A and B are shown apart, each in its own frame.
Chain A
Amino acid sequence: MSAAVELEGVSKAFGDVHAVSDMNLAITDGEFFSLLGPSGCGKTTTLRMIAGFEFPTEGSLRIQGVEMGLQPPNMRPVNTVFQSYALFPHMNVAENVAFGLHMKKVGATETASRVKRALDMVQLSHRADASSKQLSGGQQQRVALARALVNEPEVLLLDEPLGALDLKLRQAMQVELKVLQERVGITFIYVTHDQEEALTMSDRIGVMNEGRLLQVGEPQQIYEHPASRFVADFIGEINLLPATVVDHHSVRLLGGQVIKAAAGAGAGEQVTVAVRPERLELYGLDEHVPEGLNRVEGSVSRRIYYGDVFYYEVDTPGGAFEVKEENRPGVELHAAGDPVVVAWDPAATTVVAT
């Protein structure tokens, strides 16, 4: 598999501000790749450099193996779906979609059929003559997609395209986008700050913070094995507890309790233990906890009902744990003040640098 987009030592500075620092990344052809990070982490700047709206201060940026250098956006084989959709308000839906083909001087008949096909693809053929202002947010979003995809770009760049939609529509569009991407087989580079979006849609995710690419991997890898405290904390909910390394496979929590965890650091080093709330289980003091699990005793300080889950806060000598238990029939409830045992599989424990 060849690389659709390659970044080699790419940096971008705006005056004294380093928006992107020494980024190295190869995005595979046909891949759905997400750049994930908090606002201001450099993900949008990276996308804009690929699109050609910004030029790197340093480094090499190649699309399909061709160095892009200072090529303007119109000379690049990529198209963008903007966060605000950026539909031309003085043109109707079909004119919007046809814009790129007109610019490329594609013939009238071919343009018409390609526009129709693109609108069919996003199920908006019936709104071809509508003004873009008359469309709902979800429809505008689909027009923006059609307007980009009609040009059959090598790479489609999407800048938080679902950010402005409400929850239900966003979830529906996530599935739609993924299905569409698999169908057209175009490389998607998707920028988002929403970790759920990144996890559900991507083949691979690159997590960024403060201009740096921290970790690249498949969604499960990123979620289950975060490589740093930031990635652990940013993606999903997680318990982060200070600890000291005892040996290769155990660490000591603040309260003195030793738990099993694969620690990469040397004995005596200060580290952070990370474990997901849904990996924890609560047992009553008199209940049998299966062998081999990590166990920490504590007491419930609060229970919150979320409908699908119960959320517990458990105070332990090693720190407060958040525990998520599914609301299944027969689930045993613990009340505030109850003494409990928090138990989990050592394999679900990640040790990251503090």
Chain B
Amino acid sequence: MGSGGDHRRGDLTATPVVEAARPELEKAARKAESRRGVLIALPAWAYLVVFFAMPLGIVFVYSFATRSSTGRTRLADWNLDAYRRLFDPLVFEIFRRSLLLALATTVICLLVSYPFAYYIATRGPRLRNVLLVMVMLPFWSNFLVRTYAWKVLLGSEGPISQLSQALGGEPIRLLFTNTAVLIGLVYGFLPFMVLPLYAALERMDWSLVEAARDLYATGWTAFRKVTWPLSRPGVIAGSILVFIPALGAYVTPAILGGARTTLMGDYIVSQFLAARNQPFGSALSFGIMVVMLAGTIVYFRTGARNV
């Protein structure tokens, strides 16, 4: 608007002189904006670098190091011995066992959570919030304490066994079995499945289901053709959130599992502590990471294509 000489002081802007727009000024403003964006993300970046990337780097370096006869790690004579040991049949067996357990945990979580998430997502806002709080309620107490509670529940003197005996059956001994570990894992990870499923179902456009019903689909067909495929992002997110920690679970198997059934998490910990083989422990960690990353990418790809 103004003529060239009409410069006014801007009270609210950082630039003291308000000028007409020029490409250079517009570009500078855009740059400043993106700098502000970086600044906002800085704490998160710093945290990730210090507490995630650096330890990961150390583990990576250790995986190529040498273990001395006394169990000390020498950062010399870099080699691939630890990675070679990953192909040991024992490692395969432990991995297979962990994989099956994690898969079973994921599938059971999904089967239990889907109807429940569907139920929550289709309630009124009031009941919905109550139910969501109930899902998250267990997080308010310590995970270790809750796992110990399962130890009592599953023990041969526990209520489950007593109920069985009261009904004239045998005492049930679940504790220190794979079943106990599975029960514990499903229990622990259930909220991680329910919440993403709920989020996916909650933003479902239910008129799509009505459209399917209107186009002669039965309730079940409408679910199969519309609800299920459209909630798949939630299924994928929930499955990954359950499967990955279940594969590396340590606390639950350590408390509820038997000594004979070593799992991956257990095995890695024992390499760092009891066996004092840090390079092998590190290589195990990396091996599992690569497998999981590959699996996740494939899973996402197949899911993304169909959604």
CB-CB under 8 A from A72, the residues of chain B are: 213, 218-219
A171 CA / B265 CA spacing, docked (Å)? 66
Q: Is the interface of B mostly helix, strand, loop or mixed?
A: helix
CB-contact partner of B216 in A51, A84, A89, A104, under 8 A: A104
CB distance from A64 to the nearest CB of B (A): 17
CB-contact partner of A88 in B211, B216, B218, under 8 A: B211
Q: Are B213 and A86 in contact (CB under 8 A)?
A: no
CB distance from A132 to the nearest CB of B (A): 11
CB-CB under 8 A from A87, the residues of chain B are: 211
Q: Are B216 and A86 in contact (CB under 8 A)?
A: no
Which residue of B is nearest A144, CB measured? B211
A218 CA / B219 CA spacing, docked (Å)? 39
CB distance from B238 to the nearest CB of A (A): 19
Given contacts A86-B205, A90-B229, A90-B307, contact A74 B218 (CB under 8 A): yes
Which residue of A is nearest B207, CB measured? A86
CB-CB under 8 A from A51, the residues of chain B are: 210, 214
* A272 within 8 A of partner (CB): no
* A202 within 8 A of partner (CB): no
A84 CA / B212 CA spacing, docked (Å)? 14
CB distance from B31 to the nearest CB of A (A): 34
Which residue of A is nearest B217, CB measured? A103
* A137 within 8 A of partner (CB): no
CB distance from A105 to the nearest CB of B (A): 9
Interface size bracket, A side: 20 to 34
Q: Are B210 and A103 in contact (CB under 8 A)?
A: no
Q: Are B213 and A73 in contact (CB under 8 A)?
A: yes
Which residue of A is nearest B226, CB measured? A88
Residues of chain A in range 77-101 having any CB-CB distance to chain B below 8 Å: 78-80, 82-84, 86-90, 99-100
CB-CB under 8 A from B230, the residues of chain A are: 89-90
Which residue of B is nearest A99, CB measured? B215
* A151 within 8 A of partner (CB): yes
Residues of chain A in range 88-124 having any CB-CB distance to chain B below 8 Å: 88-90, 99-100, 103-104
A99 CA / B230 CA spacing, docked (Å)? 16
Which residue of B is nearest A73, CB measured? B213
CB-contact partner of B207 in A79, A84, A104, A151, under 8 A: A84
A87 CA / B215 CA spacing, docked (Å)? 12
* A12 within 8 A of partner (CB): no
CB-CB under 8 A from A204, the residues of chain B are: none
CB-CB under 8 A from A89, the residues of chain B are: 208, 230
Q: Are A90 and B207 in contact (CB under 8 A)?
A: no
Given contacts A84-B205, A86-B205, contact A147 B213 (CB under 8 A): no
CB distance from A78 to the nearest CB of B (A): 8
A354 CA / B207 CA spacing, docked (Å)? 41
Give how many B residues have a beta carbon under 8 Å from the other chain's beta carbons: 20
Bitwise interface map of B from 196 to 215 toward A, beta carbon under 8 Å scored 1, else 0? 00000000010110111111
CB distance from B306 to the nearest CB of A (A): 7
* B221 within 8 A of partner (CB): yes
Q: Which of A72, A74, A84, A104 has the most CB of B within 10 A?
A: A74
CB-CB under 8 A from B307, the residues of chain A are: 90
Which residue of B is nearest A75, CB measured? B216
A151 CA / B215 CA spacing, docked (Å)? 8
A100 CA / B216 CA spacing, docked (Å)? 6
A69 CA / B123 CA spacing, docked (Å)? 26
Q: Are B215 and A79 in contact (CB under 8 A)?
A: yes
Q: Are A80 and B214 in contact (CB under 8 A)?
A: yes
CB distance from A71 to the nearest CB of B (A): 11
CB-contact partner of B215 in A83, A90, A100, under 8 A: A100
CB-CB under 8 A from B205, the residues of chain A are: 84, 86
CB distance from A51 to the nearest CB of B (A): 6
A52 CA / B205 CA spacing, docked (Å)? 18
CB-CB under 8 A from A83, the residues of chain B are: 207
Which residue of A is nearest B212, CB measured? A99
Q: Are B306 and A90 in contact (CB under 8 A)?
A: yes
A90 CA / B230 CA spacing, docked (Å)? 7
CB distance from B194 to the nearest CB of A (A): 23
CB-CB under 8 A from B208, the residues of chain A are: 86, 88-89
CB-CB under 8 A from B212, the residues of chain A are: 88, 99
CB distance from B180 to the nearest CB of A (A): 40
Q: Are B217 and A74 in contact (CB under 8 A)?
A: yes
Q: Are B210 and A73 in contact (CB under 8 A)?
A: yes
CB-contact partner of A103 in B216, B229, B306, under 8 A: B216
Of the A-B pairs whose beta carbons lie under 8 Å apart in the complex, a sample of 20, sorted by A's number, is A53-B210, A73-B213, A73-B214, A74-B213, A74-B214, A82-B207, A82-B211, A86-B210, A88-B208, A88-B225, A89-B208, A89-B230, A90-B229, A90-B307, A99-B215, A99-B225, A100-B215, A100-B216, A103-B215, A103-B216
Known: A74-B214, A84-B207, A103-B221. 16 other contacts (CB 8 A): A72-B213, A73-B213, A74-B216, A74-B217, A78-B214, A80-B210, A82-B210, A88-B208, A88-B226, A90-B307, A99-B215, A99-B217, A103-B215, A103-B216, A104-B216, A147-B215
- Shortest 9 CB-CB contacts between residues of A and residues of B: A100-B215, A103-B216, A86-B211, A86-B207, A73-B213, A74-B216, A80-B214, A73-B214, A99-B215
What residues of chain A have their CB less than 8 Å away from a CB belonging to chain B? Answer: 51-53, 72-74, 78-80, 82-84, 86-90, 99-100, 103-104, 147-148, 151
